[in-house]
Amino acid sequence: EAQVTQNPRYLITVTGKKLTVTCSQNMNHEYMSWYRQDPGLGLRQIYYSMNVEVTDKGDVPEGYKVSRKEKRNFPLILESPSPNQTSLYFCASSLKGPYRVYGYTFGSGTRLTVV
Amino acid sequence: SQQGEEDPQALSIQEGENATMNCSYKTSINNLQWYRQNSGRGLVHLILIRSNEREKHSGRLRVTLDTSKKSSSLLITASRAADTASYFCATDASTGGGADGLTFGKGTHLIIQP
């Protein structure tokens, strides 16, 4: 089944303790992206990757890191989490054709709480 | 930055009725997409309409796009209880020379009353 898999589904952590949220897709998509969803603010893009070893900042990159060493994986790293990073996180992937006619496939989400 | 704004924020209708949601955006786009999200779950892609298209259908969904007014609408016909969800419009305004990705609105929460 074509899908984007995020882990973990839920995570409670303490301020300052480094964590990684994994994201993997099995569709051979070039493009991958991370979003966070907060009440009243909607979905905001954190980072995206156009292909292996190509990453760039989205609208809210502060406090996050990403890497794209393999096409299928795009982990999100919080080096020193803070309570304002408590949110629902989504990974998404897509083909990137010349006419931009592809929708995104989203993972099921990771609900992160930083205390 | 928020590009799309959905209207209304919430909509409650009876099962079998049609539901219409609107989306307005600010800049030129390559395409506009609609997604559905069931409570706290991942978003599901519904339909994509390119900037040179005016209307598109997929099953019970009908999407229109008016680039002169920078607006789109999503019509769900013959609604069902399972259509209860939040619906988001997302715009792709990527130019290839800078920021890339979809910009989402805040969504319309649709409730279908049995």
Q: For the residues B28-50, what does the mean pLDDT come to?
A: 93
State yes or no: pLDDT of A57 exceeds 90: yes
State yes or no: pLDDT of B1 exceeds 50: no
- How many interface pairs between A and B have CB atoms less than 8 angstroms apart? 66
| Whole-number pLDDT of residue B79 | 97
Write the pLDDT tens digit of every residue in A21-30: 999 999 999 9
**CA torsion through residues A52, A45, B99, A97, sign:** positive
| Whole-number pLDDT of residue A97 | 63
Distance of CA A94 to the CA centre of its chain: 13
What is the spatial distance between Cα B85 and Cα B109, in angstroms, rounded to a whole number?
Answer: 6
State yes or no: pLDDT of A110 exceeds 80: yes
| Interior angle at CA B34, CA B18 and CA B45, nearest 5 | 110
Q: Which residues of B touch A104 (CB under 8 A)?
A: 33, 35, 43, 45, 102
Q: How far is B10 from chain A (nearest CA, A)?
A: 13
Verify whether the Cβ–Cβ distance B100 to A50 is below 8 Å.
yes
Verify whether the Cβ–Cβ distance A106 to B42 is below 8 Å.
yes
- A61 in Cβ contact with A47 (< 8 Å): yes
Q: For the residues B31-47, what does the mean pLDDT come to?
A: 93
| Whether the bond into B114 is cis, omega within 30 of 0 | no
B100 CB within 8 Å of a chain A CB: yes
What is the spatial distance between Cα A103 and Cα A94, in angstroms, rounded to a whole number?
Answer: 6
What is the spatial distance between Cα A7 and Cα A23, in angstroms, rounded to a whole number?
Answer: 7
What is the spatial distance between Cα A65 and Cα A46, in angstroms, rounded to a whole number?
Answer: 9
